[in-house]
Structure 1
Amino acid sequence: MGTPRTASSRVRLYETVRTAHLERARELAPASIVYRRRRYDFDPGVAAGLDLIEAGPVAAAVVLARSDVRELEINEPLMVSSLRRTALALAAVTVAGWFRRRRTVVVAYAIANDDPFRPPRRPGVLGAVRRRLDAALIRLVAGRVDRIAYGTEASRDLYARVVPSMRAVATSIPALPTACSCGPVHEGAPGTVLFVGAFEPRKGVLDLLAAWPEVVRQRPHARLTLVGKGPQQAAVEELVAGREDVTLVVDPPRARVHELQREHSVAVLLSRRTPTWREQVGLPVVEGLAHGCAVLTTTETGLASWLAGHGHAVVDPDASVDEVAAHLVRLLDDGRSAESVLADLPARDGRLEADTWLFGASPV
């Protein structure tokens, strides 16, 4: 079997795909998706009918070179993990464009929230060399972008600082959702808290569990549901064993996740930075808002300033157990209605609005 071609002249280049990406793909402008690998929560059933091509860096470049790509959405320039793949893909469409005498329009959606050159990344001599190469590739890739839409002001500020030479036509459209279409607006049960995400240190599931006993001490009727799976699952199971106030739901189908988000009043994501990662927005934050949940999260998300200004709770990632508990209790006591949360959201989903701008703007 030969190298495939994309079915569409509009292509999205993804490093990874997950079920949420597939759901979103049905709402975005139609396009082929060329991706490197699947995430743990990839649902083949949701992928049915989409033009998906799984390909490594070289294979992806070949696919793009053989296809009639007129518009290409790339991984954003500050996504260093995919930087080389992106540069190779851009080289492929550039060379192919010379032969076809047509230039491919390149766009990017940016929510990066982490300086790729901050310590302690890549120490030592080899690290210094790698940083120089990365910086050169970032400038090269950024220089080829025609239009860029920033999903957070934190991301726009980061690009201005790290890539001041970037000259792409730009706009800012907050990465905020609208009410989820999974069902009618539903009031979450009072006193209910929901965690959705991977059970791993960077998502803060154990931090939440450490604070939970104090929440229950102050509000005995509070109930917590933990949804996900991951390397800390055994620790989570041990901590919740025998607790009637905590329910554990391991890796449920997406429909069940939506049900749980409708049934709860507060969504929590206590993101922590790692040496090579920082929360960009946080899908559980966005989905919590879309279901009318009040949100407790950390300053790591690019939406932190918006959340703090709209009645939600934002804490430092190193906040004490008592601080986390106090913010949770405050949100539970506020008893904010789903209608109130949804009223602060835009009339149209921010990612969809950005996509319309990226692909609907006048040709560059």
Structure 2
Amino acid sequence: MSEPDEARARAVRVYKTLRTAHLERALELPPADILYQESRYDFDEGLVAQVRPQQVGDLRCAWLVARHGYETVEINEPAAVDCVRRSALVLAAALVNDLLRRRHTRVVTYAIGNIDPHTLPKPAPWWPRLGRRLDLVLAHWVWRRVDRVVFGTETARQLYGTVFGIAEQRGLRWTTMEALPAECSCLADGGKTPGRLLFLGDLSQRKGFDSVLAAWTTVRHRVPGAVLTVVGRGALLDDAYAAARADSRIHVIADPPREVVHAELRRASVVVLPSRRQGAWREQVGLPIVEGLAHGCTVVTTDETGIAGWLARNGHGVVPAGSVAELLAPALAEAVTRPLDAGTVRASLPRRDSRLESDAWLFAREVIAVRT
């Protein structure tokens, strides 16, 4: 990593996994170094030159944090136990640096975790099981080092209050900001197409794509003229192609560039994401949901997402995850037939993306914790 300028040297964001959403958000945030270990399938290489993140292993990541002496370090949330060893190494390096420099590095995190890590399935072999116990110990130690946290969902706030403790942590500043987007700036370029249903993202069972294909048979008969557009890639891509070959009202666009994704979101009247729990995974918010809202779409999803309560209160379709097989098709048919007005959806959103507001609160030199 080249020697950062003074503005960049004050803060660093340490992630295990980096995705396009991080890169896009970084362009709107105050300058900060970004250190990551791996990238997601939706990683946009075109943004890398603008953001300049650095891919490093855990030990080098900790060394760089110690070397540069950042004022503020953002880490993955402690409930994400698969990231906690990296966070612990970074915080240990910062702690040593603080002792030498006689100061305090501020540690901040954004939390949307909604599964108690103590209840995750335990590995069968003894060695990974021992590693899991270590991760849980480290998760609590990392949490005690956090100075500021924004909870992106009420579900996350409840989890941390119950599992990690909030009130008991002296000096912790926290607030809750619902993980909602602002209206997308691209909306002036197009309008909604009636009857257009969009599945966006990972074509997998955990994201409920198989349930969408099963429900579509009913929807297409109930709603003449409805069209299903599938945008993304994943294990069930071949199933998507097979469905499209058998039905001219299904269109598949595999792993397109971002401008195509935005174009499809502008056209869609409904975005569907019927996520279900799978192993140690549970939908925290769902980027397709966030992007759908930002483009004025009606959302149909399950109660697995952390913003299910907000969606239900604002007229979107929320189906119990355990009843998807029976309830998804009628919910989709209703949404496609009578979608929310796109302007009403956009008016329900904050004027500024809540993740950007959260970041401003976390990195502000002085904050007043509004504990909502």
The normalised TM-score by structure 2 is: 0.92
2:356 is the counterpart of 1:355: no
Contact 1:107-1:146 within 8 A present in 2 as well: yes
Separation in structure 2 between the aligned mates of residue 289 and residue 356 of structure 1, nearest angstrom: 22
Q: Secondary structure at the match of 1:61?
A: helix
Contact 1:267-1:293 within 8 A present in 2 as well: yes
Aligned pair in 2 of structure 1 residues 113, 194: CA closer, same or farther (>3 Å)? same
Aligned pair in 2 of structure 1 residues 119, 37: CA closer, same or farther (>3 Å)? closer
Structure 2 partner of 1:345:
349
2:31 is the counterpart of 1:30: yes
Aligned 1:110-125 pairs, distance under 5 A: 110-122=111-123
> Which is further off, 353-362 or 111-120?
111-120
Q: Which runs of 5+ in 2 are unaligned?
A: none
Aligned pair in 2 of structure 1 residues 340, 363: CA closer, same or farther (>3 Å)? closer
Aligned pair in 2 of structure 1 residues 123, 170: CA closer, same or farther (>3 Å)? farther
Aligned 1:1-364 pairs, distance under 5 A: 6-7=4-5, 8=8, 9-122=10-123, 129-164=130-165, 165-167=168-170, 168-184=172-188, 186-362=190-366
Q: Report the residue type matching 1:191 in the other structure.
A: G
Contact 2:361-2:367 within 8 A present in 1 as well: no
Contact 1:4-1:63 within 8 A present in 2 as well: no
Number of residue pairs matched?
A: 362
Contact 1:5-1:66 within 8 A present in 2 as well: no
Q: Report the residue type matching 2:41 in the other structure.
A: Y
Aligned pair in 2 of structure 1 residues 88, 241: CA closer, same or farther (>3 Å)? same
Q: Report the residue type matching 1:73 in the other structure.
A: E
Q: Which runs of 5+ in 1 are unaligned?
A: none
Q: Secondary structure at the match of 1:319?
A: helix
CA shift at 1:17, angstroms? 1.2
> Which is further off, 100-109 or 263-272?
100-109
Q: Deviations over 1:139-181 (max 9, x none)?
A: 1100100000011000000111110144421000111011001
CA shift at 1:274, angstroms? 1.4
Q: Secondary structure at the match of 1:203?
A: coil
CA shift at 1:136, angstroms? 1.6
> Which is further off, 284-293 or 58-67?
58-67
Q: Secondary structure at the match of 2:185?
A: coil
Q: Secondary structure at the match of 2:318?
A: strand
CA shift at 1:321, angstroms? 3.3
CA shift at 1:312, angstroms? 0.3
The normalised TM-score by structure 1 is: 0.94
Aligned pair in 2 of structure 1 residues 139, 29: CA closer, same or farther (>3 Å)? same
> Which is further off, 231-240 or 26-35?
231-240
Separation in structure 1 between the aligned mates of residue 16 and residue 329 of structure 2, nearest angstrom: 36
Identity of aligned residues (%): 44
Q: Deviations over 1:103-124 (max 9, x none)?
A: 1111111111112122534357
Q: Secondary structure at the match of 1:11?
A: strand
RMSD: 1.9
CA shift at 1:102, angstroms? 2.3
Contact 2:59-2:89 within 8 A present in 1 as well: yes
Q: Report the residue type matching 1:147 in the other structure.
A: R
Q: Report the residue type matching 1:19 in the other structure.
A: T
Aligned pair in 2 of structure 1 residues 123, 160: CA closer, same or farther (>3 Å)? farther
CA shift at 1:320, angstroms? 4.1
Q: Report the residue type matching 2:15 in the other structure.
A: Y
Q: Report the residue type matching 1:48 in the other structure.
A: A
Q: Report the residue type matching 1:259 in the other structure.
A: A
CA shift at 1:51, angstroms? 3.3
> Which is further off, 283-292 or 160-169?
160-169
CA shift at 1:336, angstroms? 1.7
CA shift at 1:317, angstroms? 2.2
Contact 2:187-2:295 within 8 A present in 1 as well: no
Q: Report the residue type matching 2:224 in the other structure.
A: P
CA shift at 1:240, angstroms? 2.4
CA shift at 1:272, angstroms? 1.4
Separation in structure 2 between the aligned mates of residue 159 and residue 137 of structure 1, nearest angstrom: 15
